[in-house]
Protein backbone atom coordinates (compact mmCIF):
# COMPACT_ATOMS: atom_id res chain seq x y z
CA UNK A 1 0.00 0.00 0.00
CA UNK A 2 2.93 2.32 0.45
CA UNK A 3 3.70 4.85 -2.25
CA UNK A 4 6.91 4.62 -4.18
CA UNK A 5 9.23 7.32 -2.91
CA UNK A 6 12.84 6.46 -3.37
CA UNK A 7 16.25 7.61 -4.42
CA UNK A 8 17.41 6.44 -7.83
CA UNK A 9 20.98 6.11 -8.88
CA UNK A 10 20.19 6.50 -12.54
CA UNK A 11 17.63 7.89 -14.92
CA UNK A 12 16.42 7.45 -18.46
CA UNK A 13 15.87 10.11 -21.06
CA UNK A 14 12.56 10.43 -22.89
CA UNK A 15 13.95 8.40 -25.81
CA UNK A 16 15.24 5.70 -23.48
CA UNK A 17 18.84 6.42 -24.43
CA UNK A 18 20.33 6.89 -20.98
CA UNK A 19 21.73 3.86 -19.19
CA UNK A 20 21.14 3.39 -15.49
CA UNK A 21 24.30 4.16 -13.51
CA UNK A 22 25.40 5.13 -10.06
CA UNK A 23 24.74 8.85 -10.04
CA UNK A 24 24.90 10.71 -6.71
CA UNK A 25 23.22 13.81 -8.18
CA UNK A 26 19.87 12.18 -9.09
CA UNK A 27 16.89 11.67 -6.81
CA UNK A 28 13.48 10.48 -7.92
CA UNK A 29 10.45 11.00 -5.71
CA UNK A 30 7.09 9.48 -6.60
CA UNK A 31 3.66 9.08 -5.07
CA UNK A 32 2.31 6.43 -7.38
CA UNK A 33 -0.78 5.06 -5.72
CA UNK A 34 -4.13 6.45 -4.64
CA UNK A 35 -3.67 5.63 -0.95
CA UNK A 36 -0.57 7.80 -0.59
CA UNK A 37 -2.07 10.62 -2.63
CA UNK A 38 -5.21 10.70 -0.47
CA UNK A 39 -3.18 10.47 2.75
CA UNK A 40 -0.89 13.30 1.66
CA UNK A 41 -3.88 15.43 0.69
CA UNK A 42 -5.56 14.88 4.07
CA UNK A 43 -2.39 15.66 6.03
CA UNK A 44 -1.84 18.74 3.88
CA UNK A 45 -5.16 20.07 5.13
CA UNK A 46 -5.19 18.99 8.78
CA UNK A 47 -1.51 18.61 9.75
CA UNK A 48 0.58 20.88 7.55
CA UNK A 49 -0.93 24.24 8.66
CA UNK A 50 -0.48 23.40 12.34
CA UNK A 51 3.14 22.35 11.84
CA UNK A 52 3.97 25.40 9.76
CA UNK A 53 2.52 27.75 12.39
CA UNK A 54 4.47 26.11 15.23
CA UNK A 55 7.71 25.97 13.22
CA UNK A 56 7.40 29.63 12.22
CA UNK A 57 6.79 30.61 15.85
CA UNK A 58 9.88 28.71 17.00
CA UNK A 59 12.10 30.07 14.21
CA UNK A 60 10.98 33.64 14.89
CA UNK A 61 11.70 33.13 18.59
CA UNK A 62 15.19 31.81 17.84
CA UNK A 63 15.76 34.67 15.39
CA UNK A 64 14.66 37.20 18.02
CA UNK A 65 17.08 35.73 20.58
CA UNK A 66 19.86 35.85 17.98
CA UNK A 67 19.10 39.52 17.33
CA UNK A 68 19.41 40.22 21.05
CA UNK A 69 22.68 38.29 21.27
CA UNK A 70 24.14 40.13 18.28
CA UNK A 71 23.07 43.57 19.44
CA UNK A 72 26.00 45.95 19.49
CA UNK A 73 28.33 43.58 17.61
CA UNK A 74 29.62 44.41 14.15
CA UNK A 75 30.58 41.84 11.54
CA UNK A 76 34.20 42.64 12.25
CA UNK A 77 33.65 41.93 15.96
CA UNK A 78 32.26 38.49 15.08
CA UNK A 79 35.33 37.70 13.00
CA UNK A 80 37.87 39.09 15.45
CA UNK A 81 37.07 37.24 18.68
CA UNK A 82 34.73 34.49 19.99
CA UNK A 83 31.57 35.37 21.91
CA UNK A 84 31.75 35.30 25.68
CA UNK A 85 29.52 35.87 28.69
CA UNK A 86 25.75 36.14 28.32
CA UNK A 87 25.93 36.10 24.52
CA UNK A 88 27.53 32.66 24.56
CA UNK A 89 25.08 31.53 27.26
CA UNK A 90 22.20 32.10 24.81
CA UNK A 91 23.48 29.41 22.46
CA UNK A 92 22.08 26.37 24.34
CA UNK A 93 18.63 28.01 24.42
CA UNK A 94 18.73 28.77 20.67
CA UNK A 95 19.88 25.19 19.98
CA UNK A 96 17.01 23.81 22.06
CA UNK A 97 14.47 25.91 20.16
CA UNK A 98 16.05 24.84 16.86
CA UNK A 99 15.71 21.16 17.76
CA UNK A 100 12.10 21.76 18.78
CA UNK A 101 11.37 23.25 15.36
CA UNK A 102 12.46 19.97 13.77
CA UNK A 103 10.39 17.98 16.23
CA UNK A 104 7.38 20.20 15.46
CA UNK A 105 7.83 19.20 11.81
CA UNK A 106 7.60 15.54 12.77
CA UNK A 107 11.35 14.85 12.60
CA UNK A 108 13.06 13.32 15.60
CA UNK A 109 16.82 13.80 15.81
CA UNK A 110 18.77 10.91 17.33
CA UNK A 111 22.40 11.47 18.35
CA UNK A 112 24.86 8.59 18.62
CA UNK A 113 28.37 8.84 19.98
CA UNK A 114 29.79 11.86 21.76
CA UNK A 115 30.88 15.19 20.38
CA UNK A 116 34.55 15.81 21.08
CA UNK A 117 35.67 19.04 22.68
CA UNK A 118 37.33 21.77 20.66
CA UNK A 119 40.66 20.90 22.27
CA UNK A 120 40.35 17.32 20.98
CA UNK A 121 39.02 18.19 17.50
CA UNK A 122 38.82 21.82 16.37
CA UNK A 123 37.07 20.75 13.14
CA UNK A 124 33.92 18.69 12.61
CA UNK A 125 33.71 16.95 9.21
CA UNK A 126 30.09 16.17 8.26
CA UNK A 127 28.92 13.85 5.46
CA UNK A 128 26.99 12.92 3.46
CA UNK A 129 25.46 16.29 2.59
CA UNK A 130 22.08 15.57 1.02
CA UNK A 131 19.51 18.10 2.17
CA UNK A 132 18.82 21.61 3.42
CA UNK A 133 17.53 19.80 6.51
CA UNK A 134 21.16 18.91 7.30
CA UNK A 135 21.21 22.30 9.01
CA UNK A 136 20.01 20.44 12.11
CA UNK A 137 23.68 19.55 12.65
CA UNK A 138 24.28 23.17 13.71
CA UNK A 139 21.88 22.75 16.63
CA UNK A 140 23.17 19.24 17.42
CA UNK A 141 26.76 20.52 17.66
CA UNK A 142 25.98 23.50 19.94
CA UNK A 143 26.12 26.05 17.10
CA UNK A 144 29.49 25.24 15.60
CA UNK A 145 30.83 27.76 13.07
CA UNK A 146 29.73 26.97 9.52
CA UNK A 147 31.29 27.85 6.16
CA UNK A 148 28.86 30.14 4.36
CA UNK A 149 28.72 32.37 1.28
CA UNK A 150 28.49 35.98 2.35
CA UNK A 151 25.74 36.79 -0.15
CA UNK A 152 23.49 34.10 1.36
CA UNK A 153 23.38 36.07 4.61
CA UNK A 154 20.97 38.64 3.22
CA UNK A 155 17.84 36.79 4.35
CA UNK A 156 15.80 36.18 7.46
CA UNK A 157 18.01 33.33 8.72
CA UNK A 158 21.12 35.50 8.43
CA UNK A 159 21.00 36.41 12.11
CA UNK A 160 20.90 32.75 13.16
CA UNK A 161 23.83 31.89 10.91
CA UNK A 162 25.77 34.93 12.11
CA UNK A 163 25.33 33.70 15.67
CA UNK A 164 27.52 30.70 14.82
CA UNK A 165 30.32 33.17 13.94
CA UNK A 166 30.72 31.58 10.50
CA UNK A 167 33.69 31.57 8.18
CA UNK A 168 32.59 33.66 5.21
CA UNK A 169 33.24 32.81 1.57
CA UNK A 170 33.27 35.84 -0.69
CA UNK A 171 32.21 34.78 -4.19
CA UNK A 172 33.38 38.06 -5.78
CA UNK A 173 36.85 37.76 -4.26
CA UNK A 174 39.30 36.01 -6.64
CA UNK A 175 41.34 34.99 -3.60
CA UNK A 176 38.30 33.66 -1.74
CA UNK A 177 39.50 30.05 -1.59
CA UNK A 178 42.91 30.96 -0.19
CA UNK A 179 41.40 33.42 2.31
CA UNK A 180 38.85 30.86 3.48
CA UNK A 181 41.55 28.23 4.04
CA UNK A 182 43.64 30.81 5.87
CA UNK A 183 40.75 31.67 8.21
CA UNK A 184 39.98 28.00 8.85
CA UNK A 185 43.62 27.46 9.80
CA UNK A 186 43.59 30.49 12.11
CA UNK A 187 40.37 29.33 13.81
CA UNK A 188 41.52 25.73 14.18
CA UNK A 189 44.93 26.61 15.62
CA UNK A 190 43.84 29.58 17.75
CA UNK A 191 44.31 29.45 21.52
CA UNK A 192 41.06 31.34 22.00
CA UNK A 193 37.79 29.55 22.76
CA UNK A 194 36.27 29.67 19.28
CA UNK A 195 33.40 27.32 18.37
CA UNK A 196 34.42 24.22 16.45
CA UNK A 197 34.44 24.73 12.67
CA UNK A 198 31.80 22.62 10.93
CA UNK A 199 32.52 21.57 7.35
CA UNK A 200 30.57 19.68 4.67
CA UNK A 201 33.62 18.64 2.61
CA UNK A 202 31.60 17.28 -0.34
CA UNK A 203 30.60 20.85 -1.18
CA UNK A 204 27.25 19.91 -2.71
CA UNK A 205 24.22 17.71 -2.07
CA UNK A 206 24.10 14.07 -3.15
CA UNK A 207 21.56 11.27 -2.75
CA UNK A 208 23.67 9.50 -0.07
CA UNK A 209 24.36 6.53 -2.39
CA UNK A 210 28.09 7.19 -1.98
CA UNK A 211 30.58 9.73 -0.68
CA UNK A 212 32.01 11.97 -3.39
CA UNK A 213 35.39 13.72 -3.37
CA UNK A 214 36.11 15.67 -0.19
CA UNK A 215 37.43 19.18 -0.73
CA UNK A 216 40.74 19.51 1.14
CA UNK A 217 40.11 23.01 2.57
CA UNK A 218 39.13 21.80 6.03
CA UNK A 219 42.17 19.51 6.22
CA UNK A 220 44.87 22.12 5.58
CA UNK A 221 45.28 22.98 9.30
CA UNK A 222 46.52 19.43 9.88
CA UNK A 223 44.70 19.23 13.21
CA UNK A 224 42.59 16.30 14.46
CA UNK A 225 39.06 16.23 13.08
CA UNK A 226 35.93 14.47 14.25
CA UNK A 227 33.95 12.75 11.47
CA UNK A 228 30.18 13.14 11.83
CA UNK A 229 27.69 11.15 9.72
CA UNK A 230 24.07 12.00 8.96
CA UNK A 231 21.45 9.38 8.06
CA UNK A 232 17.73 9.64 7.29
CA UNK A 233 16.51 6.08 7.91
CA UNK A 234 12.97 6.68 6.70
CA UNK A 235 10.82 4.38 4.57
CA UNK A 236 10.20 7.32 2.25
CA UNK A 237 13.01 9.62 1.32
CA UNK A 238 11.41 13.06 1.27
CA UNK A 239 14.54 15.00 2.24
CA UNK A 240 17.14 14.39 -0.49
CA UNK A 241 17.75 17.55 -2.51
CA UNK A 242 19.96 17.06 -5.57
CA UNK A 243 20.62 18.73 -8.89
CA UNK A 244 18.22 16.38 -10.68
CA UNK A 245 15.11 15.83 -8.61
CA UNK A 246 12.28 17.58 -6.75
CA UNK A 247 12.66 21.17 -5.58
CA UNK A 248 13.00 22.38 -2.01
CA UNK A 249 9.32 23.35 -1.59
CA UNK A 250 8.06 19.95 -2.74
CA UNK A 251 10.47 18.17 -0.41
CA UNK A 252 9.47 20.37 2.52
CA UNK A 253 5.77 19.81 1.78
CA UNK A 254 6.13 16.01 1.59
CA UNK A 255 8.31 15.91 4.71
CA UNK A 256 5.85 17.96 6.75
CA UNK A 257 2.97 15.74 5.65
CA UNK A 258 4.64 12.56 6.91
CA UNK A 259 3.43 11.28 10.26
CA UNK A 260 6.99 10.85 11.46
CA UNK A 261 10.52 11.30 10.10
CA UNK A 262 13.86 10.67 11.69
CA UNK A 263 17.43 11.85 11.41
CA UNK A 264 20.41 10.05 12.93
CA UNK A 265 23.60 11.97 13.69
CA UNK A 266 26.62 9.89 14.70
CA UNK A 267 29.84 11.27 16.11
CA UNK A 268 32.67 8.94 15.12
CA UNK A 269 35.98 8.73 17.00
CA UNK A 270 38.36 11.64 16.50
CA UNK A 271 40.71 11.12 13.56
CA UNK A 272 44.33 12.02 14.31
CA UNK A 273 46.38 12.70 11.17
CA UNK A 274 49.76 11.17 10.51
CA UNK A 275 52.74 13.35 9.59
CA UNK A 276 52.23 12.39 5.95
CA UNK A 277 48.57 13.42 6.10
CA UNK A 278 49.50 16.73 7.71
CA UNK A 279 51.76 17.43 4.74
CA UNK A 280 49.17 16.29 2.18
CA UNK A 281 45.63 17.65 2.83
CA UNK A 282 44.22 15.70 -0.13
CA UNK A 283 45.50 12.42 1.31
CA UNK A 284 44.11 13.41 4.71
CA UNK A 285 40.70 14.15 3.13
CA UNK A 286 40.65 10.82 1.24
CA UNK A 287 41.50 8.81 4.33
CA UNK A 288 38.85 10.51 6.45
CA UNK A 289 36.33 9.90 3.66
CA UNK A 290 37.23 6.19 3.65
CA UNK A 291 36.59 6.00 7.41
CA UNK A 292 33.20 7.68 7.04
CA UNK A 293 32.21 5.57 4.02
CA UNK A 294 32.99 2.40 5.99
CA UNK A 295 30.84 3.61 8.89
CA UNK A 296 27.99 4.44 6.51
CA UNK A 297 28.37 1.25 4.47
CA UNK A 298 28.53 3.13 1.13
CA UNK A 299 31.15 3.28 -1.65
CA UNK A 300 33.31 6.28 -2.50
CA UNK A 301 33.30 7.96 -5.92
CA UNK A 302 35.71 10.61 -7.15
CA UNK A 303 32.94 12.98 -8.17
CA UNK A 304 33.31 16.69 -7.48
CA UNK A 305 31.21 19.83 -7.46
CA UNK A 306 32.59 20.58 -10.95
CA UNK A 307 31.20 17.25 -12.13
CA UNK A 308 27.86 18.30 -10.71
CA UNK A 309 28.00 21.53 -12.70
CA UNK A 310 28.99 19.61 -15.83
CA UNK A 311 26.02 17.28 -15.49
CA UNK A 312 23.68 20.21 -14.87
CA UNK A 313 24.98 21.99 -17.97
CA UNK A 314 24.56 18.85 -20.09
CA UNK A 315 21.03 18.39 -18.81
CA UNK A 316 20.19 22.04 -19.50
CA UNK A 317 21.30 21.71 -23.12
CA UNK A 318 19.64 18.31 -23.60
CA UNK A 319 22.93 16.50 -24.34
CA UNK A 320 22.29 12.74 -24.81
CA UNK A 321 23.08 10.75 -21.64
CA UNK A 322 23.40 14.02 -19.69
CA UNK A 323 23.18 12.31 -16.29
CA UNK A 324 26.01 9.97 -17.29
CA UNK A 325 28.52 12.53 -18.58
CA UNK A 326 30.85 12.07 -15.62
CA UNK A 327 31.12 8.32 -16.22
CA UNK A 328 31.38 8.78 -19.98
CA UNK A 329 34.29 11.17 -19.45
CA UNK A 330 36.03 8.70 -17.15
CA UNK A 331 35.66 5.75 -19.55
CA UNK A 332 36.83 7.85 -22.51
CA UNK A 333 39.95 8.78 -20.54
CA UNK A 334 40.62 5.11 -19.73
CA UNK A 335 40.26 4.16 -23.41
CA UNK A 336 42.58 6.96 -24.52
CA UNK A 337 39.80 8.68 -26.46
CA UNK A 338 39.99 11.85 -24.40
CA UNK A 339 43.64 12.26 -25.31
CA UNK A 340 43.36 11.31 -28.99
CA UNK A 341 40.23 13.42 -29.59
CA UNK A 342 39.22 10.85 -32.25
CA UNK A 343 35.50 11.40 -31.71
CA UNK A 344 35.88 15.16 -32.09
CA UNK A 345 37.66 14.65 -35.40
CA UNK A 346 35.00 12.23 -36.66
CA UNK A 347 32.20 14.50 -35.48
CA UNK A 348 33.74 17.59 -37.12
CA UNK A 349 33.94 15.73 -40.44
CA UNK A 350 30.34 14.54 -40.21
CA UNK A 351 29.08 10.98 -40.55
CA UNK A 352 29.83 9.54 -43.97
CA UNK A 353 28.89 5.98 -43.06
CA UNK A 354 25.25 5.30 -43.76
CA UNK A 355 24.53 3.19 -40.67
CA UNK A 356 23.68 5.51 -37.79
CA UNK A 357 22.31 2.82 -35.49
CA UNK A 358 25.20 0.52 -34.58
CA UNK A 359 25.71 -2.67 -32.53
CA UNK A 360 28.46 -3.02 -29.94
CA UNK A 361 31.13 -4.45 -32.25
CA UNK A 362 30.60 -1.70 -34.84
CA UNK A 363 30.58 0.91 -32.06
CA UNK A 364 34.01 -0.28 -30.91
CA UNK A 365 35.34 -0.47 -34.50
CA UNK A 366 34.40 3.13 -35.25
CA UNK A 367 36.13 4.31 -32.09
CA UNK A 368 39.20 2.22 -32.80
CA UNK A 369 39.12 0.50 -29.39
CA UNK A 370 38.75 -3.14 -28.33
CA UNK A 371 35.32 -4.36 -27.27
CA UNK A 372 36.16 -4.91 -23.61
CA UNK A 373 34.21 -4.23 -20.42
CA UNK A 374 34.86 -0.47 -20.59
CA UNK A 375 33.71 -0.13 -24.19
CA UNK A 376 30.68 -2.30 -23.46
CA UNK A 377 29.80 -0.05 -20.53
CA UNK A 378 30.10 3.02 -22.75
CA UNK A 379 27.87 1.31 -25.31
CA UNK A 380 25.30 0.37 -22.65
CA UNK A 381 24.99 3.99 -21.46
CA UNK A 382 23.77 5.09 -24.91
CA UNK A 383 22.00 1.90 -25.95
CA UNK A 384 18.30 2.02 -26.78
CA UNK A 385 16.79 -0.90 -24.90
CA UNK A 386 14.13 -1.73 -27.47
CA UNK A 387 16.65 -2.24 -30.28
CA UNK A 388 19.88 -3.00 -28.44
CA UNK A 389 21.63 -0.42 -30.66
CA UNK A 390 23.30 2.96 -30.16
CA UNK A 391 22.41 6.02 -32.24
CA UNK A 392 25.99 6.97 -33.07
CA UNK A 393 25.39 10.73 -33.58
CA UNK A 394 24.13 10.93 -29.99
CA UNK A 395 27.33 9.40 -28.66
CA UNK A 396 29.53 11.65 -30.77
CA UNK A 397 27.60 14.74 -29.68
CA UNK A 398 28.10 13.84 -26.00
CA UNK A 399 31.82 13.20 -26.63
CA UNK A 400 32.11 16.54 -28.47
CA UNK A 401 30.35 18.29 -25.57
CA UNK A 402 32.91 16.87 -23.14
CA UNK A 403 35.83 17.81 -25.40
CA UNK A 404 34.49 21.35 -25.96
CA UNK A 405 33.02 22.08 -22.54
CA UNK A 406 35.13 25.24 -22.19
CA UNK A 407 34.61 26.36 -25.80
CA UNK A 408 31.78 28.56 -27.13
CA UNK A 409 28.53 26.71 -27.72
CA UNK A 410 28.66 27.74 -31.38
CA UNK A 411 31.46 25.19 -31.92
CA UNK A 412 29.34 22.36 -30.55
CA UNK A 413 26.35 23.58 -32.55
CA UNK A 414 28.40 23.58 -35.75
CA UNK A 415 29.38 19.97 -35.13
CA UNK A 416 25.78 19.02 -34.30
CA UNK A 417 24.62 20.38 -37.66
CA UNK A 418 27.04 17.97 -39.36
CA UNK A 419 26.23 15.00 -37.15
CA UNK A 420 22.47 15.13 -37.66
CA UNK A 421 22.60 16.00 -41.37
CA UNK A 422 21.21 12.68 -42.60
CA UNK A 423 21.22 13.87 -46.21
CA UNK A 424 24.91 14.89 -46.00
CA UNK A 425 24.02 18.00 -47.98
CA UNK A 426 25.13 20.64 -45.48
CA UNK A 427 21.58 21.52 -44.49
CA UNK A 428 19.01 20.20 -42.02
CA UNK A 429 15.43 19.22 -42.64
CA UNK A 430 12.78 19.98 -40.01
CA UNK A 431 13.16 16.57 -38.33
CA UNK A 432 16.97 16.83 -38.32
CA UNK A 433 16.84 20.35 -36.89
CA UNK A 434 14.54 19.14 -34.12
CA UNK A 435 17.16 16.54 -33.23
CA UNK A 436 19.83 19.23 -32.98
CA UNK A 437 17.67 21.74 -31.07
CA UNK A 438 16.47 19.23 -28.48
CA UNK A 439 19.94 17.71 -27.95
CA UNK A 440 22.10 20.82 -28.14
CA UNK A 441 19.97 23.88 -27.36
CA UNK A 442 17.69 22.52 -24.64
CA UNK A 443 14.49 23.20 -26.63
CA UNK A 444 11.40 21.05 -26.45
CA UNK A 445 10.19 19.57 -29.74
CA UNK A 446 7.40 22.12 -30.12
CA UNK A 447 9.78 25.07 -29.61
CA UNK A 448 12.28 23.51 -32.00
CA UNK A 449 9.54 23.16 -34.61
CA UNK A 450 8.48 26.80 -34.22
CA UNK A 451 12.09 28.00 -34.34
CA UNK A 452 12.64 26.16 -37.61
CA UNK A 453 9.52 27.70 -39.14
CA UNK A 454 10.61 31.20 -38.12
CA UNK A 455 14.23 30.77 -39.25
CA UNK A 456 13.26 29.26 -42.62
CA UNK A 457 12.17 32.62 -44.04
CA UNK A 458 12.00 31.44 -47.65
CA UNK A 459 10.13 28.25 -46.67
CA UNK A 460 12.72 26.11 -48.41
CA UNK A 461 12.15 23.26 -45.97
CA UNK A 462 15.74 23.23 -44.73
CA UNK A 463 18.23 25.29 -42.73
CA UNK A 464 21.99 25.63 -42.97
CA UNK A 465 24.19 26.40 -39.97
CA UNK A 466 24.87 29.93 -41.22
CA UNK A 467 21.15 30.60 -41.74
CA UNK A 468 20.33 29.52 -38.21
CA UNK A 469 23.19 31.56 -36.71
CA UNK A 470 22.01 34.62 -38.66
CA UNK A 471 18.52 34.13 -37.23
CA UNK A 472 19.73 33.38 -33.66
CA UNK A 473 21.87 36.54 -33.56
CA UNK A 474 18.69 38.60 -33.73
CA UNK A 475 16.93 36.76 -30.90
CA UNK A 476 17.62 37.51 -27.24
CA UNK A 477 16.46 34.02 -26.19
CA UNK A 478 19.46 32.55 -28.04
CA UNK A 479 22.04 34.86 -26.46
CA UNK A 480 23.42 31.93 -24.46
CA UNK A 481 24.69 30.40 -27.72
CA UNK A 482 27.11 33.27 -28.21
CA UNK A 483 28.41 33.57 -24.63
CA UNK A 484 32.23 33.73 -24.60
CA UNK A 485 32.21 33.69 -28.40
CA UNK A 486 34.17 36.46 -30.09
CA UNK A 487 33.70 35.10 -33.60
CA UNK A 488 30.04 36.11 -33.89
CA UNK A 489 28.22 39.34 -33.16
CA UNK A 490 26.07 39.25 -30.04
CA UNK A 491 22.31 39.06 -30.73
CA UNK A 492 20.19 42.15 -30.73
CA UNK A 493 17.00 41.97 -28.71
CA UNK A 494 13.80 41.75 -30.70
Please write the tens of the pLDDT for every residue from 461-471. 889 999 999 99
CB 138 within 8 A of CB 198: yes
CA distance 84 to 81: 9
Query: What is the average pLDDT score of the chain?
Result: 86
What local confidence, expressed as pLDDT, does residue 493 receive? Answer: 44
Please write the tens of the pLDDT for every residue from 392-401. 999 999 999 9
Side-by-side strand order, sheet with 123-127: 107-112, 261-267, 225-231, 123-127, 197-199, 145-149, 167-169
What local confidence, expressed as pLDDT, does residue 58 receive? Answer: 95
Over residues 343-350, the mean pLDDT reads 80
Residues near 174 by beta carbon (within 8 Å), at least 6 away in sequence: none
Q: What is the CA radius of gyration of the chain?
A: 26
Confidence class for position 136, pLDDT limits 50, 70, 90: very high
- Ranking 275-289, 303-317, 479-493 by mean pLDDT, the lowest is 479-493
What local confidence, expressed as pLDDT, does residue 85 receive? Answer: 92
β-bridge pairing 261-267 and 225-231: antiparallel
Q: List phi, psi (to 5°) of 359.
A: -80, 180
Please write the tens of the pLDDT for every residue from 358-395. 999 999 999 999 999 999 999 999 999 889 999 999 99
Of 169 and 369, the structure prediction assigns the larger pLDDT to 369
CA distance 436 to 448: 9
- Ranking 22-26, 240-244, 342-346, 480-484 by mean pLDDT, the lowest is 22-26
**Which ranges of 353-464 does DSSP label H, i.e. alpha helix?**
360-367, 373-382, 392-403, 409-419, 430-440, 445-455
> Of all residues in the chain, what percent carry a pLDDT higher than 90?
59
Of 302 and 63, the structure prediction assigns the larger pLDDT to 63
Question: What's the CA angle centered on 158, arms 155 and 159, to 5 degrees?
Answer: 130
What local confidence, expressed as pLDDT, does residue 139 receive? Answer: 94
- Ranking 144-158, 295-309, 331-345 by mean pLDDT, the lowest is 144-158
State how far Cα 267 lies from the chain centre. Answer: 25
CB 105 within 8 A of CB 255: yes
Please write the tens of the pLDDT for every residue from 427-462. 899 999 999 999 999 999 999 999 999 998 888 888
Ordered by where they begin, the domains of the chain are 34-303 (no CATH), 307-482 (1.10.238.10)
What local confidence, expressed as pLDDT, does residue 227 receive? Answer: 97
Question: Which H/E stretch holds residue 167?
Answer: strand 167-169
Of 33 and 359, the structure prediction assigns the larger pLDDT to 359
**Which ranges of 320-391 does DSSP label H, i.e. alpha helix?**
325-334, 337-340, 342-349, 360-367, 373-382
Residues near 345 by beta carbon (within 8 Å), at least 6 away in sequence: none
CA distance 374 to 424: 31
Q: Is residue 60's pLDDT more than 60?
A: yes
Amino acid sequence: MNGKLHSETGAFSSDDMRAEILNPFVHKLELDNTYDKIKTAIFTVILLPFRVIVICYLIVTAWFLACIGLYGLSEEDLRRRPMTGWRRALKPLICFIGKMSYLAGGMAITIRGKQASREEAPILVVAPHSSFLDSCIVYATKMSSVIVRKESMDNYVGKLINYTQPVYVWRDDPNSRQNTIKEIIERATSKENWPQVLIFPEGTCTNRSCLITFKPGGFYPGVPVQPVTIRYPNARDTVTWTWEGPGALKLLWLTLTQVHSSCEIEFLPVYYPSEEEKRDPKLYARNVRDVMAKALGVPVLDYTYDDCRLIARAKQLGIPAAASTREVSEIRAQLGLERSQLELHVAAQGLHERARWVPADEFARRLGVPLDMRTQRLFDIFMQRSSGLVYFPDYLLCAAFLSLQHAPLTQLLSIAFKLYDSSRSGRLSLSNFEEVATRCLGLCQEDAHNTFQQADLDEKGYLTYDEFISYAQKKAEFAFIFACDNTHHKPKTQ
